[in-house]
């Protein structure tokens, strides 16, 4: 891959996905695009990219983008947010909602571990949760929807007890049990797109997504999250992700790392 | 001295070596035993804070050792992780019922072990 190819890849990821492909990922990019080049019948990655630049077919462009996104995730990542959700937020929100139903969105759900973790929290809390999980990557969504995880994936973040409760063996993998499987609706969505419907959520998980984004694109995503979140709703970001001057819409909740609520100014603006 | 101790019980020297490297990286002082009988003798002398136990071993298997350990004076103290290639749910449940705090299916890596040890409270989150 030439430096020019990498520059153009950076541009493609930034424009279409808002994703910041840092220069130290050049070898990773080469490595991940190899299988796509082979699958699409190109001699090598250079040939694939030459063709993509000359003839930008959307499907090939998205295949390239998906291969370069950071899809790393695991069950109950950082643990504390899921405990706060189960023990504090779901009971409180459920009590305040007609019918007790709570709407949750896992935004940037990757291969689904976060969404299943939220669904488990809902069932453990005895609260009816309507859960939507979206990701930019079609491949990640398909895996999430399959509910199939390898021995490595299933053990990362889950105790054996929890694993046995919610998953069952399926040949060499583990598959989410039926009682959990129908609790999540997975769909492909781009956080850069304008909301196309009126869906609003009581809790949004958008963890470890903004940290990988181009700073210039983060405000747009945050604006979308604000519009999707009800006024007394809660937003979870990754523990290392800080909002610095790019939005006045959210303020952190003290003592609950990664948890945000709408700021008074955002509420005034909405009124 | 204020270090935590871990006994790795596995008949495979390679597995012991791999596990030792991971656990030492989590600030444990590590010893090794090649079967349940060796481990039982070790624990009679000094009770470790943490044990990683394989299931199938010569002389005394891991499940027998675990049951004997839990019956010993002070034997309910250590955190115990079963680490084996056995993946059948009923066998996993059996090990948990016998007193294992958690269960790791081989193959595993450092991230899995770290996540399991955090769950059982053997290392800080």
| Residue pLDDT, tens place only, B8-26 | 999 999 999 999 999 999 9
> Considering CB atoms only, which of A151, A152, A159 is closest to B102?
A159
What values do phi and psi take at B120, rounded to 5? -85, 0
Alpha carbon of B115: minimum distance to chain A alpha carbons (Å): 6
pLDDT(B1) > 60: no
Look up the ipTM and state it.
Answer: 0.91
Strand partners, A104: A131, A203
What is the pLDDT, as a whole number, of residue B89? 95
What is the distance between the alpha carbons of residues B30 and B8, in angstroms, rounded to a whole number?
A: 7
What is the pLDDT, as a whole number, of residue B10? 97
Q: Report the alpha-carbon angle A179-A125-A263, nearest 5.
A: 120
Q: Determine the topology of domain A80-270 in CATH.
A: Rossmann fold (3.40.50)
What is the pLDDT, as a whole number, of residue B16? 95
Two tokens, residue B116? 């399991």
What is the distance between the alpha carbons of residues A128 and B105, in angstroms, rounded to a whole number?
A: 33
Q: Which of A160, A166, A170, A177 to mutate to test the interface with B (most CBs of B within 10 A)?
A: A160
> Considering CB atoms only, which of A79, A151, A156 is closest to B111?
A156
The domain locations on chain A are: 3-68, 80-270
Alpha carbon of B1: minimum distance to chain A alpha carbons (Å): 30
Structural domain contains residue B125: no
In terms of residues, how long is chain A? 271
Question: Which residues in chain A have their CB less than 8 angstroms from residue B108's CB?
Answer: 152, 155
What is the distance between the alpha carbons of residues A197 and A185, in angstroms, rounded to a whole number?
A: 16
| DSSP code per residue over B75-107 | TTSSEEEEEES---HHHHHHHHHTT-SEEEESS
What is the pLDDT, as a whole number, of residue A271? 53
Q: Could you tell me the residue range of the domain that residue B65 belongs to? A: 4-108
Q: What is the pTM assigned to this prediction?
A: 0.93
Cα nearest neighbour of B96 on chain A: A161
Two tokens, residue A35? 């299988």
CB contact under 8 A, A151 and B125: no
Which DSSP symbol is given to A271? -
Q: Hey, what's the torsion of the CAs at A219, A135, B110, B53, to 10 degrees?
A: 140
SS3 A202: strand
How far is the CA of B32 from the CAs of A132, B2, B39, in angstroms?
47, 20, 8
Fold equal for A3-68 and A80-270: no
Residue-wise pLDDT tens for chain A (271 aa)? 899 999 999 999 999 999 999 999 999 999 999 999 999 999 999 999 999 999 888 889 999 999 999 999 999 999 999 999 999 999 999 999 989 999 999 999 999 999 999 999 999 999 999 999 999 999 999 999 999 999 999 999 999 999 999 999 999 999 999 999 999 999 999 999 988 888 999 999 999 999 999 998 999 999 999 999 999 999 999 999 988 777 889 999 999 999 999 988 777 665 5
* B105 interfaces chain A, CB cutoff of 8 Å: yes
Two tokens, residue A40? 């699409």
What is the distance between the alpha carbons of residues B115 and B90, in angstroms, rounded to a whole number?
A: 23
Percent of chain B with pLDDT over 70: 98
Structural domain contains residue B63: yes
What is the distance between the alpha carbons of residues B68 and B110, in angstroms, rounded to a whole number?
A: 28
Q: Is A137 left (phi over 0), alpha (psi -120 to 50) or beta?
A: beta
Report the domain count for chain B: 1
Alpha carbon of A177: minimum distance to chain B alpha carbons (Å): 13
Cβ neighbours of residue A103 closer than 8 Å, sequence gap 6 or more: A129, A130, A132, A199, A200, A201, A202, A203
What is the distance between the alpha carbons of residues A85 and A98, in angstroms, rounded to a whole number?
A: 19
Does residue A1 contact residue A49 with C-beta atoms inside 8 Å? Answer: yes
Provide the pLDDT confidence category of residue B115 given band limits of 50, 70 and 90. Answer: very high
> Considering CB atoms only, which of B89, B96, B125 is closest to A169?
B89
Mean pLDDT of B51-73: 96
Cα nearest neighbour of B111 on chain A: A156
Does residue A83 contact residue A162 with C-beta atoms inside 8 Å? Answer: no
What is the distance between the alpha carbons of residues A166 and A149, in angstroms, rounded to a whole number?
A: 12
Which DSSP symbol is given to A209? S
Q: Is B13 left (phi over 0), alpha (psi -120 to 50) or beta?
A: alpha
Strands of the sheet containing B102-105, edge to edge, are B28-33, B4-9, B50-53, B79-84, B102-105
Q: Does A3-68 carry CATH code 3.40.50.10360?
A: no
What is the pLDDT, as a whole number, of residue A269? 64
Question: Which residues in chain B have their CB less than 8 angstroms from residue A164's CB?
Answer: 89, 92-93
CB-based burial, B43-68: b 16+ in 10 Å, e otherwise:
beeebbebbbbbbebeebbbbbbbeb
pLDDT in tens, B22-42: 999 999 999 999 999 999 999
Q: What is the CATH number of the domain that holds B52?
A: 3.40.50.2300
| DSSP code per residue over B23-39 | HHTTTEEEEEESSHHHH
CB contacts < 8 A, A to B, total: 40
CB contact under 8 A, A160 and B96: yes
* B10 interfaces chain A, CB cutoff of 8 Å: no
Percent of chain B with pLDDT over 90: 93
Is beta strand A148-149 parallel, antiparallel or unpaired with respect to A129-135? unpaired
């Amino acid at each position: 891959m030439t430096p020019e190819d990498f520059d153009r890849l950076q541009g493609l990821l930034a424009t279409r996905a808002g994703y910041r492909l840092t220069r130290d990922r050049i070898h990773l990019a080469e490595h991940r695009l190899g299988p796509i080049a082979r699958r699409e019948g190109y001699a090598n990655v250079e040939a694939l990219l030459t063709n993509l630049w000359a003839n930008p077919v959307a499907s090939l462009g998205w295949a390239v983008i998906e291969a370069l996104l950071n899809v790393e995730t695991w069950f109950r990542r950082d643990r504390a947010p899921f405990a706060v959700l189960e023990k504090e937020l779901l009971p409180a929100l459920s009590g305040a909602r007609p019918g007790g139903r709570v709407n949750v969105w896992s935004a940037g759900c990757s291969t689904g571990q976060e969404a299943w973790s939220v669904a488990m929290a809902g069932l453990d809390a005895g609260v009816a949760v309507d859960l939507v999980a979206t990701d930019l990557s079609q491949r990640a969504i398909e895996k999430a929807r399959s509910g199939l995880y390898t021995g490595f994936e299933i053990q990362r973040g889950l105790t054996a007890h929890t694993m046995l409760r919610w998953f069952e063996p399926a040949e060499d993998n583990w598959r989410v049990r039926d009682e959990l499987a129908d609790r999540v609706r997975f769909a492909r969505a781009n956080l850069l797109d304008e909301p196309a419907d009126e869906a609003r959520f009581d809790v949004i998980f958008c963890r470890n997504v903004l940290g990988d984004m181009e700073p210039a694109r983060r405000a747009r995503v945050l604006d979308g999250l604000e519009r999707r979140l009800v006024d007394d709703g809660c937003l979870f970001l990754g523990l290392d992700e800080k909002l610095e001057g790019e939005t006045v819409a959210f303020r952190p909740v003290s003592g609950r790392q990664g948890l945000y609520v709408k700021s008074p100014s955002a509420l005034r603006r909405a009124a | 001295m204020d270090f935590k101790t871990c006994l790795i019980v596995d008949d495979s020297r390679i597995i012991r070596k791999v596990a030792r490297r991971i656990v030492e990286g989590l600030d444990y002082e590590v010893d090794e035993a090649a079967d349940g009988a060796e481990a039982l003798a070790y624990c009679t002398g000094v009770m470790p804070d943490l044990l990683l136990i394989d299931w199938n071993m010569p002389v005394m298997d891991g499940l027998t050792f675990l049951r004997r350990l839990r019956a010993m004076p002070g034997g309910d103290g250590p955190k115990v992780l079963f680490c084996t290639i056995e993946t059948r749910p009923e066998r996993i449940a059996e090990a948990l019922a016998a007193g294992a705090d958690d269960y790791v299916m081989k193959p595993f890596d450092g991230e899995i072990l770290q996540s399991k040890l955090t769950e059982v409270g053997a290392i800080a989150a």
